[in-house]
Structure 1
Amino acid sequence: MTEIREEEGWKPLKAGGFMAGIGPLHARRRQDGGFTYALETGEAHANALGLVHGGVITGLVDQAIALVAWHAAGRAPVVTVQIDTRFAASAKPGARLEAKANVRHVAGSLVFLDAEVCEGERTVALATAVMKIARKGGPDDRQ
């Protein structure tokens, strides 16, 4: 396992909740101004086959998507409406998984995004998602 280090630009995030249970989560600013989110995996992330559990990968990509949508929504709360994850390869415990997400389109209170989870140069998963901007007090709050 390679250690995520602050001198390489990684900063720990206090994501809390579910991510605190599988994290810690780290972030690093990319040259294009976006962020990459990283998770160091270990034996606790393994499934019965000894590979990183798909739920861990999906949890990482969902968190990355939510953070990017949150920024796109002017830091308003967002909730996942839909996420489609396609697994391209497996990862073994000890892998550093890095997730990147990009906004494809914003329409009213919906944010459409694409994301990728990689181990180094190898794509582990691809995802598309729809996030809802959850402004408090609206008739369709999902809180």
Structure 2
Amino acid sequence: MTELREENGWKPLNAGGFMAGIGPLYARRRDDGVFTYALETGEAHANALGLIHGGVIAGLADQAIALVAWQAAGRAPVVTVEMSTRFTDSARPGARLEAEAAVRQTSGSMMFVDAAVREGERTVALATAVMKITRKGGGR
């Protein structure tokens, strides 16, 4: 596994808030323009079974979805209205989780976005979200 370093194309993101508490979060842009977001996990990310906590995985998916929606909305603020997460496999501390998201459809101020969280070739979770583009200065 390559290290999450700038010479490997990874750049740390200052996501702040919740992600700062479980991160750091890294981003890398592929040649086709798609962004991948990564999180190196450790014991602090584990649940009582010794597996990566579902909240960590869902949080990474939500962050990837929000960043992709924000970019697609011309960098207008977006908020998660609803998100459904399906856990398809588990991960253990020490795993690098990578998330990618794509906008499926936009309708007015609403966006429908899909994401996958993977550890290497294994898909750990799939998520679907409804995002709302908000007005600058607050309000929904």
Query: For the superposition of Structure 1 and Structure 2, which TM-score range results when normalised by the shorter chain?
Result: over 0.9
| Residue 137 of structure 1: how far off its partner (Å) | 6.0
Matches within 5 A, 1:14-53: 14-53=14-53
SS in 1 for 2:58: helix
Q: Which residue of 1 aligns with 2:57?
A: 57
Equivalent AA in structure 1 for residue 8 of structure 2: E
Query: How many correspondences in the alignment?
Result: 140
What CA distance in whole angstroms lies between the structure 2 residues aligned with 1:90 and 1:18? 22
Residue 5 (structure 2) pairs with residue 5 (structure 1):
yes
| Cα pair 2:76 2:136 within 8 Å, conserved | no
What CA distance in whole angstroms lies between the structure 1 residues aligned with 2:30 and 2:134? 27
Residue 134 (structure 2) pairs with residue 134 (structure 1):
yes
Percentage of matched positions with identical amino acids: 80
Runs (4+) of structure 1 moved beyond 3 Å? none
Q: TM-score, normalised by structure 1?
A: 0.94
| Cα pair 1:2 1:96 within 8 Å, conserved | no
Cα deviation, 1:64-84, whole Å, max 9, x if unaligned, reads: 000000001000000000110
What CA distance in whole angstroms lies between the structure 2 residues aligned with 1:44 and 1:112? 32
What CA distance in whole angstroms lies between the structure 2 residues aligned with 1:77 and 1:114? 18
Equivalent AA in structure 1 for residue 61 of structure 2: V
